[in-house]
Amino acid sequence: MIRFRLKDLPLSRQILILFMLLTGVLGLGLGFGYPYAVKQYLVSNTYQLLEDELLSLSEHITFNENRELLPVPAAAPYFLQLLLSRYEYSFDMIIYAEDGTYLGGRSSEHISHRDRLSLFRQAANRPNGQIQHGSLEREHGDFLFVSKKMDYHGFPYYLVLFTREQALNQINWILTRQFLVIFALLLLVSWLLAIWFSGYLSKPLRKLEDLCKKIARRQFDIPLTMDRGDEIGQLARSFDSMKNQLKEYDESQRHFIQNISHELKTPIMAIQGYTQGLMEGVFQGPQAEKGLSIIMEESKRLEKVVGQLLYLTKIESVAQMVQVGRVDLSEMFPLLKLRLAVLNPAIEWELDLPPALVLNADGEQLGTAFVNILENQLRYAKSRLTITGRQEGTNVVVKITNDGPPIEEALLPQLFQRFCKGKSGKHGLGLAITRAVVEAHGGTIHAQNEPEGPSFVITIPVKGNE
């Protein structure tokens, strides 16, 4: 058995089906509700018309000395005359004596004695002095009537005006039929517009689907142009941004493979070469000791590269490994100065820090990040290294500057990429690790050339990623 699910259909068809269901329910509601509302409106207005006519006729009803009804002039309201002419709608009048004797009236059709008697009983059972509304149910057609007990010079009588409800049903059917015809035409037009709109809406989505398939096949050079300002246009721009980022990532991965192959190949070849020479007896005595020393040095270099790669991958893939605690940078940087000053004793350190510069962070990882930057700065500095730190709003901003040569402008955008290094750089992993640590704390880092020298600006939230 095939199970139908609306969400499995194309979006255009979902929109069309939902719109048709909505308009269908609306049509059914109007189909049942509209005739009922019109019927209630017609009944209410019929009572009002009958009441107005009753008051008008009561001024013209007279009797002779034998208590016989004299002719009554026909004076119907203008709207009622229109109904009479267009829909064969009419009202009838009957006058009764207080004891129920039929005194006369005006009727467009024959009214049976039973019906006349029932109308009198209905009128006589109502309180005196007020106009009463009522209905009389009959197999051949219901009546709507208004009645009032009147007095003509001491002679009491009942004046009853009534009409058949069948006439109202006829008017109701005519109005309902006209309304339903107009509604059906509007519904047809709206469905045609819905078919067009669903296709118009789904066309750019299908275009995005095709683009995703091409991106999955690593075809990143296909332009995505969609001149729309709505959510679909925003989605298209997001796709285009994603495509560009994936393209950059794909290129960086290729460069990464190339660079890591080069970085690992050099020490491996050195280790293999000297090992082969020792095994074959090429190196003897002091040369053998030198070969062993080179093997050890290259193996340590290889170990360091692999360790940094593993650390970088861990930081980038598992940001939750950050152990947040209280870190005071005003205490950290003097300790880093004592630890790193021996790398280049000729460099003068200038620390411009407040008494306390506290934030929530992983002290160990943050220390590793700053060590990588400081080692880089000490490598290029001529005579001075400046460290400034301030709290700006909810962020801590640290700026590290040296007075060495400026960074190549072409190198600035890729400075924090893996294996990106200058002329005297090592493995090109230190700054990549620094960026990963800073971003794991919810911060940012960028490098820039200033008049006093190259500087690194690190911004980290005080609260960190708690």
The tens digit of pLDDT for each residue in 353-412 reads: 999 999 988 888 888 889 888 988 888 888 899 999 999 989 999 999 998 888 888 777
Q: Are the beta carbons of 163 and 107 closer than 8 angstroms? A: no
pTM above threshold 0.75:
no
Q: What is the mean pLDDT of residues 449-458?
A: 89
Answer left, alpha or beta for residue 431, where phi above 0 means left and psi between -120 and 50 means alpha: alpha
So what's the pLDDT on residue 281?
Answer: 75
Q: Which two tokens stand for residue 275?
A: 């090992």
Per-residue pLDDT band at 8 (split at 50, 70, 90): low
β-partners of residue 268 are none
Per-residue pLDDT band at 102 (split at 50, 70, 90): confident
The tens digit of pLDDT for each residue in 45-90 reads: 777 777 777 877 777 788 877 777 787 765 444 444 444 444 444 6
Indicate if the pLDDT at residue 429 is higher than 60.
yes
- Domains of the chain, CATH where assigned: 8-171 (3.30.450), 231-317 (1.10.287.130), 321-461 (3.30.565.10)
Per-residue pLDDT band at 201 (split at 50, 70, 90): confident
So what's the pLDDT on residue 351?
Answer: 92
The tens digit of pLDDT for each residue in 122-132 reads: 888 766 667 87
Indicate if the pLDDT at residue 196 is higher than 90.
no
End-to-end CA distance of the chain: 51
What's the CA gap between 170 and 168, in Å, rounded?
Answer: 5
Indicate if the pLDDT at residue 286 is higher than 60.
yes
Mean pLDDT score of the chain: 77
The tens digit of pLDDT for each residue in 35-44 reads: 777 777 777 7
Per-residue pLDDT band at 464 (split at 50, 70, 90): low
Answer left, alpha or beta for residue 449, where phi above 0 means left and psi between -120 and 50 means alpha: beta
What's the CA gap between 271 and 283, in Å, rounded?
Answer: 14
So what's the pLDDT on residue 188?
Answer: 84
Burial 326-338 (b: 16+ CB within 10 A, else e): ebebeebbeebee
- H or E stretch at 147: strand 143-152
What's the CA gap between 28 and 248, in Å, rounded?
Answer: 56
So what's the pLDDT on residue 256?
Answer: 62
Indicate if the pLDDT at residue 326 is higher than 50.
yes
